[in-house]
């Protein structure tokens, strides 16, 4: 059976920090499941404090990172931050984590932008440490990238299990998500040299990526259907005529790419149901700063009642 729809809104660079609490309350009132915050050094504010501001302004809205870049902090630091947010929010955190893809912020901060394999290996190792610290007790770890010698995981999260979202685009990330994630966040695949690859936005590429995920879920022996499938919609348009050639989703594929929605809210509802049938996407996410975000708000209100 298909999973029920739920919706998230991502706050990232380009969004206005003024009225952030009102943004969170509005998302809750409109029926969004989560308010998510991206983790980039060029964002207007840091991810963790914004998540707590959203939690403080609301009562039922879930909050989540979309996604924490593993390379920007030690996993022991991230585990403490995430557990603290879960405690202070009353157990509303969804922890999204990824291997990093935005090379300019690495260069500007003087951080090494290692090859994809190294970044992904480090992220998976870091995730294991975070999960161990969430479980409590002294954690001992001696791995290729991190060492811990009896560190206690405090505080203990309110949730018995904080949902883990793994975001990424490549086959290895799909494999890790199939084994370890509660949610897999689909974005266009990153380039080896950094940045997102526009060539991976067509529907035919998504067919291949979903087939890769399905094989990985089968290989992992999961019997729960695998992780919930989340999709980040990069562009919302009232008409294909509005689309400019330099957009992430170019005009020639904007009506069929999973990363864009075109039309009025009624048309978007139909398209989302078709995409859930085709690819299994039930957790749909848009940017808070999109100029047509009100279209998506209307879609959410229609689909959540």
Which structural domains are found in the chain, ordered by start? 6-304 (3.20.20.30)
Write out pLDDT tens, residues 65-111: 999 999 999 999 999 999 999 999 999 999 999 999 899 999 999 99
Residue 3 pLDDT grade (very low, low, confident, very high; cuts 50, 70, 90): very high
Write out pLDDT tens, residues 222-259: 999 999 999 999 999 999 999 988 888 999 999 999 99
pLDDT at position 15, please? Answer: 59
Write out pLDDT tens, residues 108-167: 999 999 999 999 999 999 999 999 999 998 999 999 999 999 999 999 999 999 999 998
Residue 181 has pLDDT above 90, yes or no: yes
Tell me the pTM. 0.94
Q: For the stretch 124-152, what's the b/e string if a residue is b when 16 or more beta carbons lie within 10 angstroms of its beta carbon?
A: bbbbbbbbbbbeeeebebeeebeebeebe
Residue 16 has pLDDT above 70, yes or no: no
Across the chain, mean pLDDT equals 94
Give me the helix-helix angle, 116-135 and 171-180, nearest 10°: 10
pLDDT at position 191, please? Answer: 82
| The pair of three-digit structure tokens given for residue 207, joined into one six-digit string | 């067919």
CB 36 within 8 A of CB 93: no
Exposed, middle or buried, 211 (CB in 10 Å: 0-12/13-18/19+)? exposed
Residue 17 has pLDDT above 80, yes or no: no
Peptide bond before 67: cis, by omega within 30 degrees of 0? yes
Separation CA 227–CA 8 (nearest Å): 16
CB 7 within 8 A of CB 233: no
Residue 190 has pLDDT above 90, yes or no: no
């Amino acid at each position: 059976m298909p999973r029920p729809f739920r919706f998230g809104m991502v706050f990232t660079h380009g969004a206005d920090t003024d009225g952030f609490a009102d943004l969170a309350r509005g998302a809750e009132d409109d029926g969004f499941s989560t308010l998510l915050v991206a983790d980039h050094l060029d964002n207007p504010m840091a991810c963790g404090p914004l998540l707590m501001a959203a939690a403080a302004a609301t009562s039922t809205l879930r909050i989540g990172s979309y996604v924490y870049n593993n390379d920007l902090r030690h996993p022991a630091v991230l585990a403490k931050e995430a557990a603290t947010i879960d405690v202070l929010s009353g157990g509303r955190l969804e922890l999204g984590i990824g291997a990093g893809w935005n090379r300019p912020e690495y260069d500007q901060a003087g951080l090494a932008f290692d090859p994809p394999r190294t970044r992904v290996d480090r992220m998976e190792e870091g995730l294991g440490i975070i999960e161990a610290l969430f479980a409590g007790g002294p954690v001992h770890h001696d791995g290729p990238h991190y060492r811990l010698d009896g560190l206690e995981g405090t505080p203990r999260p309110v949730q018995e299990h904080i949902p883990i979202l793994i975001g990424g685009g490549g086959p290895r990330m799909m494999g890790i998500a199939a084994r370890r994630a509660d949610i897999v966040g689909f974005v266009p695949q990153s380039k080896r040299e950094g940045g997102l690859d526009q060539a991976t936005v067509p529907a035919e590429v998504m067919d291949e990526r979903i087939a890769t995920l399905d094989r990985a879920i089968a290989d992992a022996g999961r019997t729960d259907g695998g992780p919930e499938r989340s999709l980040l919609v990069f562009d919302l348009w009232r008409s294909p005529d509005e689309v400019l050639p330099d957009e992430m989703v170019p005009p020639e594929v904007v009506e069929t790419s999973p990363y864009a929605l075109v039309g009025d809210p009624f048309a978007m509802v139909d398209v989302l149901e078709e995409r859930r049938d085709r690819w299994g996407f039930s957790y749909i996410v848009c940017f808070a700063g999109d100029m047509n975000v009100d279209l998506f708000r209307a879609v959410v209100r229609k689909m959540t009642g």
